Amino acid sequence: MINPLSVVPGFDLWPGFLSPGAQAELVAAVFEAAETAPFTNYATAYGKTMSVGMTSFGPLGWTSDASGYRYAEAHPGTVQPWPAMPRALLNLWAELGDPDTPPDACLINLYRGDARMGPHQDRDEADPRFPVLSISLGDTAVFRIGGTSRKDPTRSLKLASGDVCRLSGPARLAFHGVDRILAGSSGLVTDGGRINLTLRRARPAHPPSR
């Protein structure tokens, strides 16, 4: 495996990790999934509608409304289970995430137009010892990462299509977000935009069998 770039302690980046063919297959899988689990612009707990469209792969999907943020076993609009996670994502997690415990959620974020993601922590998971693995597809994102306090200094970098990054260890609960999308920087996504896939382990790992 190619060694990643260590951007800050615990935040590792593999530029261009996915081949163009692998990227295209994942984009096709995303839009196929969206036929039965449509993208939704959720409301935050503070009553604001998110600019990013969201859906999910896997046993669990992340949702949000006035009552808060949480993982759910069904799409909130269709009340149907989320589409199965593609084998390519399971393999990627086993290689770069955790080889022993599979992910149980893959959030799919669709950025179009002026969509962005404000600084936030990924802290809805039961055990932060598991990393968050992020895959970029389509237009380049200007990504920002800081520390575990909102007051910590931040730095920004560009994440291009095919890049994979991992938040773990000291960066697992770091504040991070997307400042903007560089429209037209990629032709991968039909009608333009960026897709971000984030693989997580939301539930506790099962105890080892005796």
pLDDT (tens, 9 = 90+) of the chain, 210 residues, equals: 678 999 999 999 999 999 999 999 999 999 999 999 999 999 988 888 999 999 999 999 999 988 888 999 999 999 999 999 999 999 999 999 999 999 999 999 999 999 999 999 999 999 999 999 999 999 999 999 999 999 999 999 999 999 999 999 999 999 999 999 999 999 999 999 999 999 999 999 875 444
Whether residue 193 is contained in a domain is answered as yes
Tell me, what's the pLDDT at 2?
Answer: 75
pTM, two decimal places:
0.94
Q: Give a yes or no: residue 122 inside a domain.
A: yes
Q: What is the CA radius of gyration of the chain?
A: 16
Residue 44: per-residue pLDDT: 84
For residues 124 and 202, give the distance between their C-alpha atoms in angstroms, rounded to a whole number.
Answer: 7
Instruction: Print the domain residue range for 169.
Output: 5-200
Please give the Cα distance from 83 to 74 (Å, whole number).
9
CATH number of the domain that 171 lies in?
A: 2.60.120.590
Evaluate whether residue 205 is within a structural domain. Answer: no
Residue 54 counted as domain residue: yes
Q: What integer pLDDT is reported at residue 207 of this predicted model?
A: 55
Domain count across the chain: 1
Amino acid 63: pLDDT: 94
CB 44 within 8 A of CB 34: no
- Whether 89 is covered by a domain: the verdict is yes
Asked if the structure places residue 209 within a domain, the reply is no
